[in-house]
Amino acid sequence: MSRFSDANLAIADDIISRYPVKKSALIPLLHLAQEQEGYVTDDAMRHIAELTDTTPAEVKGTGSFYEMFKFHPVGAYMVNVCTNLSCQLLGGEELLDHAEKTLGVKAGGTTADGMFTLEDVECIAACTEAPCLQVNYRYKLRISHDEFDEMIADLRAGKAGDIPEHGTLATIRQSIPAGMGAGIVPPEEASEAPVWLARNDSPDGES
């Protein structure tokens, strides 16, 4: 069973309600599926297709374009080491080599116990704090080889700190309180000029 759980279905409906066109919710829904299972399953993609009036092929077609979506089981912790230029200049490649030795897998591989997947990634926007990495998209900056080993030992010992399991991004979601929204409607229902633009035509700017 990897369709959305009841709780996640409610979240999915809430996400869809924030777009004028349902298909726009596709990427956030794929993230939600990955949050539930740790990766995106075929059943989840079928469910997303039902929710967004698309086909499972369209869902996979979109999802497969984006690197963050995994369509097979991966480690509980995704360790993404940056080796782009700024990090390369300050030891990013050496850090990746070290990570491969510590974890016993090559970049792209998952440890036998299913704990870690190691990736060699492109710039993660912390260039002045090189070398850097992300664990499940939480930053570790200016990290030494010893600190890397400590981090892995901590995670193995269950000391994850603020790092959630793979698939979870923001731990707090947007939520528009009832009655407070301006009203999100399909484009064809919003073809009138917004009311406040009438101020442009009044001499004192008041409408």
Partner 1 sequence: MPTHAYVPHAPGYVDNDGPKIVTSRFPHEDSYTLERYEATGGYDGLRAALAKKPSEVHDDVREATVLGRGGAGFPAGVKWGFMPPGKYPYYLVVNGDESEPGTYKDRLLMERDPHQLIEGCLITCYALGLAQCFLYVRGEMALAQERIAVALNDAYAKGLVGKNILGTDFSVDITLTWGAGAYIVGEETALIESLEGNRGMPRLKPPYFPAAIGLYGQPTIVNNVETLSNLPWLMLNGPSQYKTYGSEDSPGTRMIAVSGHVNRPGVYEIEQGVTTFRDLFYSDNFCQGIREGHELKMFVPGGGSAPWFFPEQLDLPLEARPVGAAGSMLGSGAIMVMDETTDAVKAALRLVRFYARESCGKCTPCREGTTWEERVLQRILDGEGRPSDIDMLLDIADNISPGPYPNAADPSQGLEAVPFPPKQTTICPLGPSSVAPITSTIRRFRHEYEAKITKRDSIPVMAETSEGGS
Rule CB under 8 A: which of 95-114 touch partner 1?
Answer: none
The least CB distance from residue 112 to partner 1, in Å, is 26
Residues 169 and 33: beta-carbon distance below 8 Å:
no
Residues 132 and 143: beta-carbon distance below 8 Å:
yes
Q: How far apart are CA 124 and CA 137, in angstroms?
A: 9
Within positions 44 to 73, which residues make up the interface with partner 1, using CB under 8 A? Answer: 52, 54, 58, 61-63, 65-69
Residues 136 and 163: beta-carbon distance below 8 Å:
yes
The reply on whether position 160 binds partner 1 by CB under 8 A is no
# binding residues, partner 1 (CB under 8 A)? 75
> Taking the mean position of all CA atoms in its chain, how far away is CA 173?
13
Nearer residue to partner 1 within complex by CB, 6 or 192: 192
The least CB distance from residue 78 to partner 1, in Å, is 10
Q: Which of 13-21, 100-108, 109-117, 144-152 is the region at the interface with partner 1 (rule: CB under 8 A)?
A: 13-21
| Amino acid (1-letter code) at residue 3 | R
Residues 90 and 131: beta-carbon distance below 8 Å:
yes
The least CB distance from residue 49 to partner 1, in Å, is 11
Q: How far apart are CA 206 and CA 199, in angstroms?
A: 5
The least CB distance from residue 43 to partner 1, in Å, is 19
| Contacts for 93 with CB less than 8 Å, ≥ 6 apart | 83
Q: Which of 79-87, 109-117, 144-152, 153-161 is the region at the interface with partner 1 (rule: CB under 8 A)?
A: 79-87
Q: Which of 6-14, 143-151, 153-161, 169-177 is the region at the interface with partner 1 (rule: CB under 8 A)?
A: 169-177
Identified binder of partner 1 from the candidate list 2, 3, 14, 19, rule CB under 8 A: 19
Identified binder of partner 1 from the candidate list 138, 144, 150, 165, rule CB under 8 A: 138
Q: How far apart are CA 125 and CA 45, in angstroms?
A: 30
